[in-house]
């Protein structure tokens, strides 16, 4: 596991964690926002009318209503990214990372409008009469190269195939593994229920739902999404109002250090601009999936005679997912003060780094060295050798990093009792031979556990953690449901519907296995799979930019003809 995690960490900086990917993602959003004249603002009110079904026609073809398609797509985006992902972004990049999540969402509203419109336009119906749509279909039909001799190079077909494979991988890396992992961790910390029991029960219910296909999925998500949003929203407001004196400072912290990075404070050792920028954008993409190409698969199933109308509905997704829900989570973390507070927790070994020397948080030189080390701009010496432990206490004075903070009050146990003996360390990492040992102490925490603690910092007290646990369960479980559909549409594109059943079996098994697998590895895998989907999709959208503008113009011409009573100045 440790070697696999190191491989993911090595690969990520060259793909999703590299500046070229960030610029491709944001650049696509900026380009279409300007090129199409800020559709996320101009079309917002119209999108609300469309999702209410005001312009529906009985002859519209598809498997779901506008609202069901939106609910299914939202269930795919509103998940651990909103609870665990925001906490991870703030943990990595400080409050400034939250700003870049919001920027990604605003631009993502336009990107999602474009990708959903094109995917709906080129959707197909499979041999069972069900809709099959998504970026792979517009790629197959529109991204081929026509030669002067009349022949055609099927670049679109192969690009669509690459996207479909990436979708299957991402259905596990984004929609499956991190979702159940976050659920099982949260349920264990709140109720003490074993990870494997949680995984087994939810895997059973997942199987029952996804076997029914998109109609059953849409029916379930249309009920789950509003319920989970209301529960989570009320809990967030309770925490923010309870810590009312920190609301303005929290707002200010989001914008104050946008271009400078966040300075060290509390247990947080600081983060530079590029680190906050990269992690904010990456977490923003993981949360709302704009540009990734996943939501268009759900929207392709919607009953609509105009592709642009479904694209309008998609504008609402990043707004609800990130600008509303993620920002609320961020304010909860900041106003409660837990984001830079060291808390008692059990350490994950892949998150432990033993340093060769002792560092002091009160020394500016030490803090700067550790900040640069964590940001990847320079390195500090790591320890290799044996740590001697007596009655659970490490005898050496070496500093230990856990969760990007200097760990304190470290205790080591074996079989529930204080450990005495030696621990092998190589390059700062605890070796696998120490697999039966548990490390506890005080350090920063991240992901779902951090949000869980934040929700207890109100008049709700410990009851707040139940809101997060229930909200996370509903959020993450509905995400897994939606992503199972994305994956089986990709399987349909590649090898036909007869193999979808086998995919669903593997999906459920993976869901179960991930309930007791290391969180750090799963998050690192998800970062890679997101990029593998987004890259071909973003390139395809940019290639078809002229067609997109023409499609919008034609939509408004027909709309004014069919709805002469509507007053609109849209062009």
DSSP state of 302: B
Confidence band for 441, pLDDT divided at 50, 70 and 90:
very high
* Residue range 65-102, pLDDT digits in tens: 778 777 777 766 676 677 778 888 899 889 999 999 89
Q: What is the pLDDT of residue 571?
A: 53
> Stretch 415-433: mean pLDDT, rounded?
88
pLDDT at 537 > cutoff 90? yes
Nearest to 280 by CA among 81, 456, 569: 81
What pTM does this model have?
0.83
Instruction: Give the separation between CA 141 and CA 210, rounded to whole angstroms.
Output: 29
Output Rg (C-alpha) for the chain, integer angstroms. Answer: 24
Beta bridge partners of 438: 413
> Stretch 426-439: mean pLDDT, rounded?
81
Confidence band for 568, pLDDT divided at 50, 70 and 90:
low
How far is CA 14 from each of CA 26, 272, 289, rounded to the nearest angstrom? Answer: 17, 19, 20
Domains of the chain in start order, with CATH, are 2-341+455-534 (1.20.1740.10), 343-443 (no CATH)
Q: What is the average pLDDT value for the chain, to the nearest integer?
A: 87
* Residue range 495-531, pLDDT digits in tens: 888 889 999 999 999 999 888 876 567 667 777 888 8
pLDDT at 32 > cutoff 60? yes
Q: What angle do CA 140, 145, 147 make, to 5 degrees?
A: 140
What are the DSSP calls for 25-74, one per residue? HHHHHHHHHHHTT-HHHHTHHHHHHHHTTTT--TT--SSB-HHHHHHHHH
Q: What is the pLDDT of residue 380?
A: 92
3-state secondary structure of 38: coil
> Stretch 125-130: mean pLDDT, rounded?
71
Quote the tokens at residue 376: 């990847």
| 127 CB burial (10 A radius; 0-12, 13-18, 19+) | exposed
How far is CA 77 from each of CA 124, 323, 401, 407, 482, rounded to the nearest angstrom? Answer: 24, 13, 32, 33, 9
Q: What is the pLDDT of residue 173?
A: 81
Q: What is the pLDDT of residue 337?
A: 92
């Amino acid at each position: 596991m440790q070697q696999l995690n190191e491989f993911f960490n090595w690969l990520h900086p060259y793909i999703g964690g590299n500046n070229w990917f960030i610029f491709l993602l944001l650049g696509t959003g900026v380009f279409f926002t300007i090129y199409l004249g800020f559709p996320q603002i101009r079309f917002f009110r119209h999108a609300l009318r469309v999702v209410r079904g005001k312009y529906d026609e009985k002859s519209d073809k598809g498997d779901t209503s506008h609202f069901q398609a939106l609910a299914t797509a939202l269930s795919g985006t509103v998940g651990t990214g909103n609870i665990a992902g925001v906490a991870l972004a703030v943990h990595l990049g400080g409050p400034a990372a939250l700003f870049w999540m919001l920027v990604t969402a605003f631009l993502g509203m336009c990107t999602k409008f474009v990708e959903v419109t094109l995917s709906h336009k080129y959707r197909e119906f499979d041999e069972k009469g069900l809709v099959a749509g998504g970026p792979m279909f517009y790629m197959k039909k529109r991204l081929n190269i026509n030669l002067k001799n009349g022949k055609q190079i099927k670049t679109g077909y192969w690009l669509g195939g690459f996207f479909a494979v990436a979708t299957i991988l991402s259905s596990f890396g984004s929609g499956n593994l991190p979702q159940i992992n976050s659920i099982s961790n949260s349920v264990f910390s709140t109720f003490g229920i074993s990870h494997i029991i949680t995984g087994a029960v939810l895997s059973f219910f997942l199987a029952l739902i996804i076997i029914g296909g998109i109609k059953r999925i849409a029916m379930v998500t249309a009920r789950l999404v509003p319920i989970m949003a209301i529960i989570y929203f009320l809990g967030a407001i309770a925490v923010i109002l309870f810590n009312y004196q920190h609301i303005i400072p929290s707002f200010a912290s989001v914008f104050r250090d946008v271009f400078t990075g966040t300075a060290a404070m509390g247990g947080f050792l600081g983060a530079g601009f590029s680190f906050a920028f990269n992690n904010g954008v990456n977490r923003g993409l993981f949360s709302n999936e704009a540009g990734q190409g996943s939501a268009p698969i759900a929207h392709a199933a919607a009953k609509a005679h105009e592709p642009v109308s479904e694209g309008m509905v998609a504008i609402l997704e990043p707004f609800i997912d990130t600008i509303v829900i993620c920002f609320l989570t961020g304010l909860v973390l900041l106003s409660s003060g837990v984001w830079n507070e060291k808390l008692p927790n059990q350490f994950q070994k892949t998150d432990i780094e033993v340093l060769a020397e002792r560092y002091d948080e009160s020394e500016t030189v030490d803090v700067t060295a550790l900040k640069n080390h964590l940001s990847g701009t320079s390195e500090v010496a790591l320890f290799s050798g044996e740590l001697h432990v007596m009655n659970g206490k490490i005898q050496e004075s070496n500093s230990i990093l856990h969760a990007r903070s200097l760990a304190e009050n470290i205790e080591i146990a074996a079989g529930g009792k204080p450990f005495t003996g030696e621990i092998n360390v190589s390059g700062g990492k605890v070796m696998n031979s120490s697999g039966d040992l548990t490390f506890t102490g005080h350090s920063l925490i991240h992901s779902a556990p951090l949000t869980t603690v934040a929700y207890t910092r109100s008049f709700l007290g410990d009851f707040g953690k139940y809101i997060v646990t229930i909200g996370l369960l509903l959020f993450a479980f509905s995400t897994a449901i939606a992503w199972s559909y994305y994956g089986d549409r990709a399987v349909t594109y590649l090898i036909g519907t007869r193999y979808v059943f086998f995919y669903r079996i593997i999906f459920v098994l993976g869901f179960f296995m991930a309930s007791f697998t290391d969180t750090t590895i799963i998050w690192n895998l998800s970062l890679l799979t997101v990029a593998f989907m987004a890259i071909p999709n973003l390139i395809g959208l940019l290639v078809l930019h002229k067609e997109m503008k023409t499609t919008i113009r034609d939509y408004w011409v027909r709309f004014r003809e069919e709805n002469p009573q509507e007053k609109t100045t849209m062009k």
